[in-house]
Every structure is written in structure tokens, then in C-alpha cells.
Amino acid sequence: MAANVELVNRAWTVLTDTLTPGEKKTSQAYISSEVEFQNAVEILCKQDLGHIIEEWFLDTLQEDLRQKVGPQFWNYFSIQPSETDQLLEAVEYLHKVTMDYLPCIQRLESTTQIKRWRKSSTLFNTSSLTEAFILLMKSTLFSIFPRTFQEIVNKFYSDAFKVFHHTTTEPDQDSEDDEETSCKGCEQPSETCLCQHIMLNFHNLNRKLDDIGILERVSGTAVTNIVHERIKTYVENSCKGNFETSYIDILETWLDTKVLGWLHLVYSGNRTHIYSDCIDGFKGRLLHFLYESFANIQIEQLFNIIIEFPESEPAILDLKMCLEKTDVRTQLVTSLKSALETRLLHPGVNTSDILTAYIAAIRALRVLDPAGVILELVCHPVRKYLRSRDDTVRCIVSNLTDDGSNELLDELIKGQPLLLDETGHSDNEDEDWEKWMPDPVDADPSTTSKSKRASDIISMLVNIYGSKELFVNEYRTLLADRILTQFNYEIEKEIRYLELLKLRFGETQLHFCEVMLKDVADSKRLNTRVTEARNKSGERG
């Protein structure tokens, strides 16, 4: 029995000395051969002690990381004056610790007898001892980043990104003089340019972090923050204020070449660990962030985009694409609604200007959202405000029958019948049943789908009041004023307008106007006859 205990103790000594990293070995540590190590493992396994080998190793490793490695690693950030040197020396130390432990881990991984006793719970539910080591490293040292450490990492990767962007961008001819005196990559005088030094440190640090298995854990937050900030800055500088150019393709190309090019440099250059899934995930998230950033910029200036429509149609189509890929509809509705109320709905703005902006909004928002839901939600306060103004109907009718107002006159010439909310269901709706689409979830259920889908501007204007009688009466008054103030019988233009209005409002509604113009025509004919009769009688006399 005593012999067995001594044999087990001897085997345990051989095993622990073999699996202890070089710096931790005591001066009395026994240097065992591979044969002695395998024999020691076999003895322990025969005594049903195989399950404690990896448990002991991981417990010892965890204690070493917590008691020695962790404090020593974080101590680098309190004694070194240079931020870059702090980071490089700390990672160098961590890399050395990992390289010391790696042979021990590989020896355990390659020992078949130990694998038979392995339990997933011992390895923290990972698939290998190497993954368990990386998990312990992350959880023990990097469960929480001190703010100073994150700031140092952010600065390191930010400097590297500036250099990368500078070296992959063709120099502008206009800035050649500036580049002769200072480098835009490292912001140092050209004679003492540090770009190569920064990129060398960048590659070395990434390689060592990758060897340890913590590259993504350490750099992930910094890389994401830097890339996000760069995307926001580039989108704002490139796209703000220009509505006549489509930018989506340009932005996607820039993201692929500049941003993702840098990410490949971080995660795919001669790496031990495969980060293709990481980069693919980054690409999807960054594309979403790009669309979201671009949409936010366009939403901020959407009022101006609408006023400049149709010249600004490329900007509207870009924003439409972003709405399909992001969740900013609510933000768009809130922002545009507020802009319209602030810039239009107050006594200082003429009714004609409000109508012009409303018509532009109808046209632009129909392109942005063919279902008409955004238009319905955003322009409800505008319609309500126009309804409260005394001269709204007169402005609409004047614009309809004024050669100087081409927008509404063009709509009138189309000759489409009015589509009022009060008309309810239309037979035309059944004709397009194969193209029917449900309304978006943010649609107002109290408003009929047909009225939302109506793209006719004149119908939208008449629907401010929901009745065409007001417009017919106003036109009758306006026509009477014109007849009484023009002092001639030239009514061809008015007859043309009346025929166009009859297609919209119906012949019955405009019967009195037709009678008025007939009376003018009759008066002209009678006046002509009287004048001719007078001329004849004068000739005879």
C-alpha cells in the first residue's frame, strides 16, 4: 500500500513539474522526459485519478492569472509614460506568459489517456483546453476594461486607421504644398514621419493579440467606435447639402475599400485564428450603420430636399432605400412633422407659400413612400392649419386657373376625376386587386387605404375640406370677378379652364359658371350685332 502511495506521489511530482511553465519551476524541479511523463499519466489513470489532472492544471492556471499575471499586466499602465509603449509592453508580457503555457497545454491536448477522462464542465463547456485557456484569460483579465486602458487602445487604433487611410488615398494636387511640410497620416513633420513605425507596431500588436487569442476582445470596441465615427464624419462631409446626386453606391464602395480594407488588415493578416465570420458580421453591421447614418443626415435636411423636388429626386430615392434597410420611419415622421410646423405653420408665412410647400411634399413623399402613409402622418397638421385660413380655397382655385401656376395647371390638364374621402370604396380599387398591398403598420386605421394611395394632388387639396362645393362656389365668385373687371369679351381662356374643371368637379356643379360664360358670349354676340347695325345706319345717313 505504501509502495502504491509513493508511486502515485512520484507520478504526481513528475506530472506537475512537467506541466509547470518554465519561469514557475522551482530549483528542485525534476526535468522529466516524455516517456516519464506518459508513465506518470498512466499510473495516475490506473488509480482513477485521471480526471484531476486537467482540473488541477486549470485551477493552477486561473490562480496564476488572478494572483500574478493580471496585476503585473495592469501595472504596466501605471508606470510607463508613453501610452503606446504601455500597451506594447503589456501585450508583450502577456504574449510571453501565453507562450510559456502553450507547450504545457499542447502536451495535455496530445495525451490520449487524459482525453478519456475529460469532461466538458472541466473545460467550461469549451471544445478544447486551448479554448478554455483563452476563456480564462478573457474572464480573468478582461472582464471589465479600465477606462484608461480603453482610451489607450482607442488612440492606438485611431492613429493606425489615420495612417492606413492616408497611405491608401491618392494625394490631392491642391494639397501638395501642405504634404511637403507635414504628414497627414501621423501629423508629424515630413522629415520625421512615423507612419511606417505606427504600422509596424500595429501589425506586431495584432499578431501577438491573435497568438494569445484575445484580438477581438481587446480591439473590438475600439475598432467599432473608430469605424462608426469615421463613417459618420465621411457621410456628413460628402453628402450634406447636395440633393441632386445619388450617394448610396459611392458610400458602399468607400466602405468596401477603406473601412473593410482596414478591418481585413486587423483581422485577416497571417492570423492563427480565423476571423472571416467576424469580418462578415462587421460588414453587415457597418452597412446597416452606414445606411442609418446617411438616413439621419437626409432626415435632418428633408424639408429642404422636399422644397427642391423634383431636382432632389436622387436624394429622395437614396432615402427610400435606407428606409427599407433601417428602422428610422418613426424618426423621419417626427422630424419632418416638426420641421413643417416650425417653418410653415405660423402667421408670417403666406398661404400661397404653404400651399407650394404642401404640393412639393405630396410629390416628394409619394416617391419616398408610395403607400402614402408618411404623407398622411406628416401633413395632417398642414391640412388642419390650411383649413383654418380664410384664403386657402381662394388660393387653390386661383392657382388652378392661373397660367403663372404651372404645377396645379398641369394637374388640372390631366383630367382625372376627384377622389374624395367621402366617396369611400371605388370600383377602380377592385380592378387592381392583383397589385393590392397591405398598408404599413404605422398607417392610420381610420383613414381609407384608397385615399392614402391617391397620388392626385388636386384631390389631396380638395380633401383639406372634404367637399367640392366650397371650391365650386369660390370658382364661381372668382369667375364673376374676372368677368366684371376685364372689360372685354375674351373668354376663350375661361372656357378652357371651365371644361377642365368640369372633368374634375362634374358638369352639374359648374352649371352656373357655364351659364355665366354663355351670357358673356351672348352679350358679345348682341354687342357685335348692335355695333354692325349702328355702322350701317351711319353709312346711310
Specify which of 14-28, 130-144, 148-162 reaches the highest per-range mean pLDDT.
Answer: 148-162
Q: Are 513 and 479 spatial neighbours (Cβ–Cβ below 8 Å)?
A: yes
Q: What percent of the chain lies above the pLDDT cut of 70?
A: 80
Q: Are 309 and 320 spatial neighbours (Cβ–Cβ below 8 Å)?
A: no
Instruction: Respond yes or no on whether the N-terminal peptide bond of residue 103 is cis (omega within 30° of 0).
Output: no
pLDDT of residue 490: 73
Identify residue 77 by its one-letter amino acid code.
F
Over residues 333-356, mean pLDDT:
92
Over residues 291-316, mean pLDDT:
94
∠ CA 174-184-150, rounded to 5°: 150
Over residues 251-280, mean pLDDT:
76
Q: Which of 18, 43, 44 is nearest to 31 (CA)?
A: 18
For residue 20, give the C-alpha cell.
Answer: 509547470
pLDDT of residue 381: 92
For residue 216, give the C-alpha cell.
Answer: 477581438
Q: Which of 318, 346, 181 is nearest to 239 (CA)?
A: 318
Over residues 295-309, mean pLDDT:
94
Q: Residue 407: CB partners within 8 Å, gap ≥ 6? A: 356, 359, 399, 457
Lowest mean pLDDT across 74-83, 226-235, 313-322, 374-383: 74-83
pLDDT of residue 532: 77
DSSP calls for 301-368: THHHHHHTTTTTHHHHHHHHHHHHHSS-HHHHHHHHHHHHHHHTSSTTS-HHHHHHHHHHHHHHHHHH
Q: C-alpha distances in angstroms, 298 versus 252, 287, 397, 481?
A: 16, 16, 34, 45
Burial class from Cβ neighbours inside 10 Å (0-12, 13-18, 19+) for residue 541 reads: exposed
Give the pLDDT band of residue 456 (cuts 50, 70, 90).
confident
Q: Please report where in the chains the cell 435636411 appears, as a residue.
A: 301
- C-alpha 97/C-alpha 58 separation (Å) is 15
Confidence (pTM):
0.75
pLDDT at 105 over 60: yes
Angle at which helices 147-167 and 83-110 cross, to 10°? 100
pLDDT of residue 477: 86
pLDDT of residue 28: 44
Enumerate the domain spans of the chain: 1-142, 146-169+193-326, 479-539
Q: Indicate the average pLDDT of the chain.
A: 80
Lowest mean pLDDT across 288-292, 303-307, 462-466: 462-466
φ/ψ (deg, to 5) at 48: 60, 35
pLDDT at 308 over 90: yes
pLDDT per position as a tens digit, 393-436 = 888 888 887 766 567 777 777 666 666 655 444 444 445 556 65
pLDDT of residue 424: 41
pLDDT per position as a tens digit, 141-183 = 887 777 788 889 999 999 888 888 888 776 554 444 444 577 7
- C-alpha 368/C-alpha 316 separation (Å) is 6
Please give the residue that has the higher pLDDT: either 21 or 291.
291
Give the pLDDT band of residue 320 (cuts 50, 70, 90).
very high
pLDDT of residue 27: 42
pLDDT at 274 over 80: no
pLDDT of residue 441: 60
Q: Please report where in the chains the cell 459611392 appears, as a residue.
A: 250
pLDDT at 122 over 70: no
Q: C-alpha distances in angstroms, 438 versus 206, 272, 368, 433, 452?
A: 51, 51, 17, 11, 12
Over residues 112-116, mean pLDDT:
65
Over residues 25-44, mean pLDDT:
67
Over residues 527-535, mean pLDDT:
79
